[in-house]
Amino acid sequence: MITIIAKNILKPGTAADFKRAAKPLVEASQKESGCISYDLYEDISEPNVLSFIECWKDDEALQKHNSSPHFTQIVPQLGAFRESSEIRLYRKVLPDG
């Protein structure tokens, strides 16, 4: 299983637009084969920080996602709302790692 945390620091005043643009990405991604979970979270103390937290069955599922039409079309559009981003990939190591 692969977990991704994609943190987006947004330009002031763009959070609502980012959420609106991200909604079809989240909905389509959740329906993909190999998707365990895919959601968008807002930082409790910094509402201009939104993070996608995703879990994928394996590398193959993640690669298919990264080349899907909804990913390749929507993710570049989200860049207009960001000041910066950080993407981290994780593998579970405990308890069964």
The C-alpha atoms of residue 7 and residue 90 are separated, in whole angstroms, by 14
pLDDT tens readout for residues 15-36 = 999 999 999 999 999 999 999 9
- Which of the 8 DSSP states describes residue 46? -
Reply yes or no on domain 2-91 having CATH 1.20.1740.10.
no
Token pair of 4, please? 């991704």
Name the residue ranges covered by the structural domains of the chain.
Answer: 2-91
Rounded distance between C-alpha atoms, residue 35 and residue 41, angstroms: 17
Average pLDDT over residues 30-52: 97
Give the integer Cα–Cα distance in Å for 13 and 80.
Answer: 12
Give the global pTM.
0.92
